[in-house]
């Protein structure tokens, strides 16, 4: 139902008027569907209405042209701003979709290799495969509620590759049906030679269509030839913003493992083995009956002897080596010469 409200410039109610829908010009056709239809006045809601439209009023975009005439009974001085008021109106309705099917055609001959019927009101799970010598055909019929062919503003077939590269094709309507034929031989370069799984999505929409749809029809495995070196690279796809930021994997340093050393016990065992010969030496000496009888008894000589041996011990400690070396040579000389003279005395005596 069409309801029109007329008011004065300041918005208050007007006197009795005659409101007429002079024309309803369709954007497509040339003539007017409605001519000089007078609108009835409803006093309760103060609107002028038209409650039924003629039978050939189809969906689509129209421009309604209203004419307002003063009733003859009007007394006051009233002025109408415009003789004809044009208002764009979209008449919407549910468009029926019939005979939707998708098929893979073979080469030039056009024989159908595989064909599937589609229900575009919901997502499908069609699975097709094609190589670059074949063609893909999508066809359907769109009809208005009155049975006329409908040409929607938006009729896209989108092929989306696994790597997110997308391609869009328009489905053209001619005659009674809408059809799109994709000849892969000619499209190989446009598709960037990307073989693999493509998802098929069909979007049909229009301002006057109440049931615009987006249907994920299914997917198609395309087998395209190898990319030659000079062909264009597929465009860079944007990175997911949520994965751009985020903590990185933790790294902990692996320290250099020190060389594997033998167990402590093993070292102690070998220590024992090393000390063993020394102990054996001492035992051997006592067995041989060594003694230190000829230790000099006179004080001077004894002191030198003690110092001599002390010096040897100190040298073995590797401390103050150079000074000790000098000291030792003096003391050593004196002790050893004393010993030599003692043994000489013994020999001569």
Partner 1 sequence: MMNLSRSVALISLFLLPLLSFSFSVDNPTDRRVLVLLDDLSLKSSHSIFFSTLKSRGFDLDFKLADDSKLALQRYGQYLYDGLIVFAPSTERFGGSLDSKSIADFVDSGRDLILSADTSASDLIRGIALECGVDFDEDSSAMVIDHSSFSVSDGDHTLIAADDLVKSDAILGKTKIEAPVLFRGVAHSLNPTNNLVLKVLSASPSAYSANPSSKLSSPPQLTGSAISLVSVMQARNNARVVISGSLQLFSDRLFRSGVQKAGSPNKYEKSGNEQFATELSKWVFHERGHLKAGSLVHHRVGETDEPAIYRIKDDLEFSVEILEWSGKSWEPYVADDVQVQFYMMSPYVLKTLSTDKKGMFHTSFKVPDVYGVFQFKVEYGKLGYTTLSLSKQIPVRPYRHNEYERFIPTAYPYYGACFTTMAGFFVFSFVYLYHK
- Residue 285 lies near partner 1 (rule: CB under 8 A): yes
- Nearest distance from residue 8's CB to partner 1, in Å? 23
- Residue 5 lies near partner 1 (rule: CB under 8 A): no
Of residues 214-243, which lie at the interface with partner 1 (CB under 8 A)? 214, 235-239, 241-242
Q: How far apart are CA 41 and CA 7, in angstroms?
A: 13
Q: How far apart are CA 28 and CA 62, in angstroms?
A: 9
Q: Which of 13, 122, 244, 287 binds partner 1 (CB under 8 A)?
A: 244
DSSP state of 153: S
* 106 or 205: CB nearest partner 1: 205
Binding-residue total with partner 1 (CB under 8 A): 68
CA distances from 301 to 293, 296, 307, 323 (A): 14, 6, 10, 22
Q: Which stretch binds partner 1 (CB under 8 A): 7-15, 47-55, 63-71, 310-318?
A: 310-318
Whether residue 200 contacts residue 159, with contact meaning beta carbons closer than 8 Å, is answered with: yes
Edge to edge, what strands does the sheet with 84-91 contain?
Answer: 32-38, 17-26, 60-70, 84-91
Reduce the DSSP state of residue 147 to 3 states and report it. coil
> Phi, psi (5° rounding) for residue 297?
-95, -30
- Residue 203 lies near partner 1 (rule: CB under 8 A): yes
- Residue 79 lies near partner 1 (rule: CB under 8 A): no
Q: Which residues contact residue 46 at a Cβ distance below 8 angstroms, ignoring those fewer than 6 apart?
A: 5, 13
* 18 or 151: CB nearest partner 1: 151
Q: How far apart are CA 344 and CA 238, in angstroms?
A: 107
Helical (H) or strand (E) element with 262: none
Compute how many other C-beta atoms are within 10 angstroms of the C-beta atom of residue 256. 6
* 256 or 347: CB nearest partner 1: 256
| Residue span 97-136 as binding mask against partner 1, x where in contact by CB under 8 A, dash where not | ----------------------------------------
* 110 or 284: CB nearest partner 1: 284
Q: Which stretch binds partner 1 (CB under 8 A): 50-58, 123-131, 198-206, 224-232?
A: 198-206
* Contacting positions for partner 1 (CB under 8 A): 88-90, 92, 151, 153-154, 156, 158, 166, 168-170, 201, 203, 205-207, 209, 212-214, 235-239, 241-242, 244-253, 255-256, 261-262, 264, 267-268, 270-271, 273-275, 277-278, 281-282, 285, 290-295, 305, 309, 312-313, 316, 339
């Amino acid at each position: 139902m069409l309801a029109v409200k007329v008011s004065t410039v300041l918005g208050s109610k007007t006197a009795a008027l005659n409101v007429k829908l002079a024309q309803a010009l369709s954007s497509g056709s040339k003539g007017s569907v409605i001519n000089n239809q007078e609108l009835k006045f409803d006093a309760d809601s103060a609107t002028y209405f038209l409650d039924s439209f003629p039978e050939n009023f189809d969906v689509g975009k129209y421009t309604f042209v209203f004419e307002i005439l003063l009733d003859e009974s009007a007394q006051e001085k009233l002025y109408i701003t415009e003789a004809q008021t044009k208002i764009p109106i979209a008449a919407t309705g549910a468009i029926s979709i019939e005979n939707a099917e998708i098929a893979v055609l073979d080469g030039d001959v056009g024989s159908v290799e595989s064909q599937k019927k589609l229900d575009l009101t919901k997502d499908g799970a069609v699975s097709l495969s094609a190589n670059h010598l074949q063609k893909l055909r999508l066809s359907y019929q769109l009809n208005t509620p009155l049975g006329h062919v409908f040409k929607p503003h938006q009729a896209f077939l989108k092929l989306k590759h696994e790597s997110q590269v997308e391609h869009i094709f328009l489905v053209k309507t001619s005659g009674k049906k809408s059809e799109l034929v994709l000849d892969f031989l000619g499209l190989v370069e446009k598709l960037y030679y990307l073989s693999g799984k493509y998802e098929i999505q069909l979007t049909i929409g229009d301002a006057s269509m109440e049931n615009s749809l987006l249907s994920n029809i299914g997917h198609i495995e395309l087998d395209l030839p190898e990319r030659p070196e000079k062909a264009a690279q597929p465009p860079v796809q944007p990175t997911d913003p949520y994965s751009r930021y985020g903590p990185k994997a933790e790294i902990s340093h692996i320290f250099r493992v020190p060389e594997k050393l033998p167990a402590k016990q093993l070292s102690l065992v070998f220590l024992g083995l090393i000390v063993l010969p020394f102990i054996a030496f001492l035992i051997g000496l006592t067995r041989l009956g060594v003694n230190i009888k000829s230790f000099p008894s006179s004080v001077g000589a004894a002191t030198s002897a003690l110092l001599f041996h002390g010096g040897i011990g100190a040298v073995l400690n590797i401390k103050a080596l150079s000074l000790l070396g000098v000291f030792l040579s003096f003391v050593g000389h004196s002790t050893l010469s004393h010993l030599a003279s003692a043994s000489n005395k013994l020999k001569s005596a």
